[in-house]
Chains A and B, each alone.
Chain A
Amino acid sequence: MALLDVRELTVSYGGVAANLGIDLQVEPGTVVGLIGPNGAGKTTFVDAVTGFTHATTGRIEFAGTELTGMGPAARARTGLARTFQSVELFDDLTVRDNLAVAAGRPRWYSLLVDLVRPGRGRNDGADRVDRALTRMGLEALAERPGAALSHGQRTLVGMARALAAEPSLVLLDEPAAGLDTSESRQLGTRIRGLAAEGLSILLIDHDMELVMDVCDDVYVLDFGRVIAHGPPAAVRADPQVVAAYLGTGGAAAVGDVAEDAAVEADHG
């Protein structure tokens, strides 16, 4: 059974459907890609799965639990972690504390205990923090405040924070945005490494190269619908994908290819 099983998910804002009848599955230990041009509804999908926006209709099942009706925090505690396109670190806290916030598993009495004995307790997850720092290679930055990092470092800290809770699925929302080619390639290696350790990943990105390199399975979204799904090689060759993806979002960057694709699409 799939770890994440989304059926017929529709998200409407007013009369406009940002997601329309999306079916998507993530199997344990796999990296699934979700791509699509700007405004295709990728972040809306992540928000709907993680509880940040209200799904109008559809079912979201995670590790056998129906998530509909749960708030974002409750969903996160079932082992579903996410990052943000805009990273969203806790800028007032150090890198270590950013991770510790995610790693902690407070009990109902934690507040009272903390007021009297604030030392790092059993529920603090210091070991999980250290593991996440090592996994993302951030040991040297641990004591720096979040506000004092470069964009690339912040992206890594954002991922490390998602990992610190030791979730079973991470949704990465555009982790390669703002990274240069070599940083992006490094990121790809890290993502594969995490999957090799058994973590499942849903990777949302613009960077075709990255998605095609690291994913086992790719979904393509356009105007809120899934227009293609399959292994990377098959999706890359799909004429509909070429038309939708390169015809709009990638036009400036890819130039000729996009024009060719548009011509093809017209004739098709």
Chain B
Amino acid sequence: MADYAFFLLLGTAAGAIIAAFGLGLLVTYQGAGVVNFGYGALVAWSGYVYADLRRGGYPFPVPGLPARYHFGHDVGFWWAITLALLTAAALGALVYAVVFRPLSNAPDLARVVASIGLVVAMTALIDRRFADNAGLRVGPILPREPVTFAKGITVPRDGLWLAAVVIALAAAVWAASRYTRLGLATRAAAGNERGAVLLGYSPRRLAMASSVLASLIGSFVVILASPMIQLSGGVFAFGYLIPALGAALVGRFRSIGVTVAVGLAIGMVQSAFTKLQVDLSWFPKYGAREGLPFLVIIVAMAVRGERLPGRGATDRWKLPPVPPARLTPVSVLVPVLAAVVGLLAFGPLWRAAIMTSLIAMVLALSLVVLTGFAGQASLAQMAMAGVAGFALSKLATGWGVPFPVAPLLAALVATAFGVLVGLPALRVRGTNLAIVTLAGGVAIAEFAFKNPDIVGDISSGGAKVPNPSLGGWDFGLILGTNPSRPVFGLFLLAVTVVLALLVANLRRSGSGRRILAARSNERAASAVGIDVARTKLQAYAISSFIAGVGGCLIAYRFGSVSDSSFGVVASLTAVSFAYLGGITSISGAVTAGMLASSGVAFFALSRLTGKVGTWDAFIGGVALIVMAVTNPEGIAGGIRSRAAARRATAGEVAA
């Protein structure tokens, strides 16, 4: 037992970071009405600023500027923490002013996408400015002398200090929200913006203040924790953020006490897993840490969720309207012919860009069905693709199942997983569902895709997948000495077209109408006899089948599957581009495919402008934010509504 106490106490540092992030997410939500998925990456920057200042530099977060100002010597603790916290405050204010305030009336999904842009931009920024971050070490801040609780339970005291600091911060925030007029106004504004106006406060200023406060809390704790942990953008952006989202969700983004307690508990229990893995032979070696927040979220939701939204429940998860699917010879043949010409007439680089775009279109189509038609969020779509990719490898390489059967079976495996992942959606809606799927996708990726028992030896370049071939005719990408065969592109194109037609058929059919009706109004849908749960699961099934086919295409393209293609960042990117293209229509999915990174648009742009260079990930993230802010309905939707407006004015003139 003493061993477990030791590991639990050792986990207080991680628990404190999770609790602080949970508190920051709660404050942001209460003040600005936003679940900021970019919060971890945002406050991580302050940790890096502090670390950099202690070695004599101040990093500039803007490409084009010099990388950093050199002081030439350690500026000392007080200067470093002051400058780092000032930076944190400025970033908090900036993010609210340029990202979340312009989106205050946009669909919730636009906010999710914008905060994903924030994650991408901030992690890319950290990668660029701290390419050498392995060498970044920070001296101790909190007292470290070991403290002995009982025989055999001796732990460094800094983790306990950190937990105490976080609890004190939480208590201060709680007291301020409870007993000050400003806190009262913020709580009033969270319920109803007019409440704050009545108390004489501007809701916007309150939101700005909350955003700054949240950034300060997270940054302060990250700085204090920086001597205890390995600094890494990814760990802050997801590793601590996802359990923090779970903790905040259990506290309903409202209860500070519950959020902090759950956050601390998750960190401590995760730490005890290290011991459990040694003691229990059956305890999973992979994914247990990531699985815990997922389980916490699922249980909290299952206990609390409602099968149907209550009478008068307000829905902030508004989605853009779904246009009818119009299949005409022009709308089908023109894009297909363009792709054929591109694949056959241009060189291997263009061909590669077109192939990337085609695969991205397939993934976007899967999100059109799920998010566009059914209104269900998923930040785990690439996990579905990955399940199919690994299943394909097992089927084709392991058991020798031939071509058309193996990928279809693999996609059906993904379908089964998709229905499983869809189960929480029967009781969870909107942004909360996005959080659940984010945690679930990470858990699947860690539990399955990194597990050698399931995917084989990773060091040998991932699980192998043979070329697709039918009756002796091989249409793989690489054959013999030819590394880029156009026939593989035509194969991708054919699959994409078939899937697009299936989605168009769905939109035009009775099943599609029922899915749209359930998206539009769950209460009314069940009143006319629609089994809402069933339509949601149908949408999950179709969507994960399509994503599974996409995963098989990725596997065929690279000849192997590895976890890096199917991680959480890939899922977030897929949703973002699908949303930007236009998540409610097939034309939107086509646009999304063109926009996808390393796709046609990117390639054309890099051809035109020379080299975009090492900043492309950062620029991609910023572009995502800009496009989400300027086009909350996606590009295809924007074009459509502009065209409709033009028709309307033309009609008025005619009349």
Binding site for B on A (CB under 8 A): 43, 47, 50-52, 71-74, 76-77, 81-82, 84, 86, 88-93, 97-98, 100-102, 104, 106, 110-111, 114-118, 120-121, 123-124, 161-162, 164-165
Interface size class of B (residues with CB under 8 A): 20 to 34
B524 and A110 contacting across the interface, CB-CB below 8 Å: no
A114 with B524, Cβ < 8 A, contacts A73-B530, A93-B516 known: no
Sample of 17 further A-B pairs with CB below 8 A, known A92-B321, A102-B529: A51-B526, A52-B523, A72-B527, A73-B526, A90-B516, A90-B525, A92-B520, A93-B517, A97-B516, A114-B509, A115-B511, A116-B505, A118-B505, A120-B510, A123-B510, A162-B527, A164-B528
- B324 CB, nearest partner CB in chain A, Å: 9
CB contact list, B300-341 vs A, under 8 A: 307-308, 311-312, 321-322
| Whole-angstrom CA separation of A7 from B542 in the bound complex | 43
Give the 10 A-B CB pairs with smallest separation, nearest first: A114-B509, A76-B529, A118-B509, A102-B528, A90-B520, A88-B524, A118-B505, A72-B526, A114-B511, A118-B508
Contacts of A51 in B (CB 8 A): 526
Which chain A residues lie closer than 8 Å to B54 at the CB level? none
In the complex, which of the residues B521, B524, B528, B532 has the most CB atoms of chain A within 10 Å of its own CB atom?
B528
Instruction: Please give the distance in Å from A189's CB to the nearest CB on chain B.
Output: 25
Set of chain A residues within 8 Å of B308, measured between Cβ atoms: 52, 72
Count of A-B contacts with CB under 8 A?
Answer: 113
User: Cβ of A104 and Cβ of B505 under 8 Å apart?
Assistant: no
Contact with A along B535-565 (1 / 0, CB 8 A): 0001000100000000000000000000000
B513's partner among A74, A101, A161, A164 (CB-CB below 8 A) is A101
Complex partner residue of A114 from B322, B505, B527, B530, CB under 8 angstroms: B505
A109 to chain B, nearest CB (A): 10
- Is there a chain A Cβ closer than 8 Å to B464's Cβ? no
Partner of B510, one of A52, A71, A81, A104: A104
Report if A111-B520 is in contact (Cβ < 8 Å); known contacts: A72-B527, A165-B529. no
List 30 A-B residue pairs with CB atoms under 8 Å apart, sorted by A's residue number: A43-B311, A51-B526, A52-B308, A52-B311, A72-B523, A73-B526, A73-B529, A73-B531, A73-B532, A74-B531, A77-B529, A84-B523, A88-B523, A89-B521, A90-B517, A90-B521, A90-B525, A92-B321, A93-B520, A100-B510, A101-B514, A106-B514, A111-B511, A114-B509, A115-B509, A161-B528, A162-B527, A162-B528, A165-B528, A165-B529
Please measure, in the bound complex, the distance between the C-alpha atom of A248 and the C-alpha atom of B532, giving whole angstroms.
39
Name the residue among A52, A117, A164 with the largest chain B CB count within 10 angstroms: A52
Q: Is B198 an interface residue (CB 8 A)?
A: no
User: B429 interface residue, CB < 8 Å from A?
Assistant: no
Contacts of A43 in B (CB 8 A): 311
Distance between A4 CB and nearest chain B CB, rounded to angstroms: 16
* B197 CB, min distance to chain A CBs, angstroms: 27
User: What is the CB-to-nearest-CB distance from A12 to chain B, in angstroms, rounded to a whole number?
Assistant: 16
- B263-320, CB < 8 A from A: 307-308, 311-312
Given A81-B528, A165-B529; A110-B517 close (CB under 8 Å):
no
A91 partner residues in chain B, CB cutoff 8 A: 520-521
CB distance from B281 to the nearest CB of A (A): 43
Q: Distance in Å from the Cβ of B104 to the closest Cβ of chain A? A: 22
Q: Are A71 and B514 in contact (CB under 8 A)?
A: no
Task: Report the minimum CB–CB distance from A258 to chain B (whole Å).
Answer: 29
B502 proximal to A (CB < 8 A): yes
The answer to whether the Cβ of B351 comes within 8 Å of any Cβ in the partner chain is no
Q: B519 in the interface, Cβ–Cβ < 8 Å?
A: yes
Docked CA distance A84–B527 (Å): 9
Indicate if the CB atoms of B506 and A118 lie closer than 8 Å.
yes
The answer to the question of B203 belonging to the interface, with a C-beta cut-off of 8 Å to chain A, is no
Chain A residues closer than 8 Å to B510, beta-carbon distance: 100, 104, 106, 110, 114, 120-121, 123-124
CB pair B513–A89 under 8 Å, yes or no, is no
Q: Are B527 and A92 interface neighbours, CB within 8 A?
A: no
Across the two chains, which residue of chain B brings its CB closest to A77?
B529
CB distance from B548 to the nearest CB of A (A): 15
CA distance A84 to B538 in the complex (A): 27
